A and B are shown apart, each in its own frame.
Chain A
């Protein structure tokens, strides 16, 4: 059972790539900032999971589905994520 937060961290390489895609090309990122963003992402997953689970429970389901995750975004004040996530979901369903 992983008690240490590092075990739930996301791989550095992927996180770094996403960060670099978001910032101007001539800007670098410090190791501390990268680690903090990586940690924040793990916390985001935890928080989003909890919110998504609430939606599932409200609908009397034991399995979290994609719609629960999308609804959770609104609750978490990340409404701007809902549209791209819906589109992504529609893409995989077709």
Chain B
């Protein structure tokens, strides 16, 4: 029962987020500090320029966009209205460029 409440809350916050996104495009950007933290977690990395962090943030946005677009094809083919985990999984198996994700998404 609490799941239903959470879902309706999520829907409401999503709608208001959409409005906020239209008002301020900058909200679209992933936080550079978080990208930088992930980069720094690699022991081989010494330094990254600010431009590199910005470029990688943008690349990550493109990646999320691309991943979603590919996964939703499976959703639509199955005549569903909700993008589910299995849509992602089936697409990850199909496309070569996503092979680096193998085994990383199982928590």
Task: Give residues in A with beta carbon < 8 Å to B.
Answer: 2, 5, 8, 10-11, 13-24, 26-30, 32-33, 36-37, 39-50, 52-53, 62-66, 68-70, 73, 76-78, 80-81, 84-85, 88-89, 92
Contacts and interface: CB of A to CB of B under 8 A. Distances in A.
B72 A85 contact: no
B2 interface: no
Contacts of A66: 49, 51-52, 54-55
A76 B96 CA distance: 10
Interface of B: 14, 17-18, 21, 27-31, 34-35, 37-39, 41-42, 44-49, 51-52, 54-56, 58-69, 71-72, 75-76, 81-85, 87-88, 96-98, 100-101, 104-105, 107
The 5 closest A-B pairs by CB, nearest first: A22-B68, A77-B97, A66-B51, A63-B47, A64-B48
Given A10-B30, A17-B21, A30 B83 contact: yes
